[in-house]
């Protein structure tokens, strides 16, 4: 079974919100599964990275303000998104494969088999 790559970034550099993904007529079923799997992986990576960041010891050198917390959350979110888009973590591919198998879709053309 061939696993398709994520939807082209030329359509949009931002991920498609999940509430709009299902009704999107420009994407095939396979592309929708791929994007939903990737976004799920990104959410999990954000949680993992956020938890890992909490273990860093606070010191008088590092600023602990509301602004730095927001900035760190933004950096964590972007890092998770980049890691997910690179495909190196692999969870999205596994999830995508399982979903396509369960739905009986052909990854190459997005049609029912």
What are the two backbone dihedrals, phi and then psi, of residue 13, each rounded to the nearest 5 degrees? -80, -15
User: Which string of b and e fits 80-107 if b means at least 16 CB within 10 Å?
Assistant: bbebbbeeebebbbebbeebbeeeebbb
92: part of which helix (H) or strand (E)? helix 91-103
In this prediction the pTM is: 0.67
Judged against a pLDDT cut of 60, whether residue 111 lies above it is answered with no
Provide the pLDDT confidence category of residue 11 given band limits of 50, 70 and 90: very low
Judged against a pLDDT cut of 70, whether residue 34 lies above it is answered with yes
- pLDDT tens-digit map of 38-82: 999 999 999 999 888 877 767 666 666 778 788 888 999 999 999
Domain boundaries, the chain: 28-54+64-103
Please report the pLDDT score of residue 92 as a whole number: 92
| Three-state DSSP state, 112 | strand
């Amino acid at each position: 079974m061939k696993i398709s790559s994520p939807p082209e970034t030329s359509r949009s550099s931002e991920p498609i919100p999940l509430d709009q993904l299902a009704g999107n007529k420009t994407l095939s079923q396979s592309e929708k599964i791929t994007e939903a799997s990737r976004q799920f992986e990104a959410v999990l990576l954000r949680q993992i990275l956020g938890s890992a960041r909490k273990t860093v010891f606070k010191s008088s050198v590092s600023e602990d303000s509301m602004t730095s917390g927001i900035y760190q959350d933004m950096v964590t979110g972007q890092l998770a998104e980049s890691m997910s888009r690179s495909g190196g973590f692999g969870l999205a591919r596994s999830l995508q494969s399982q979903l396509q198998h369960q739905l009986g879709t052909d990854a190459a053309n997005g049609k029912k088999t």
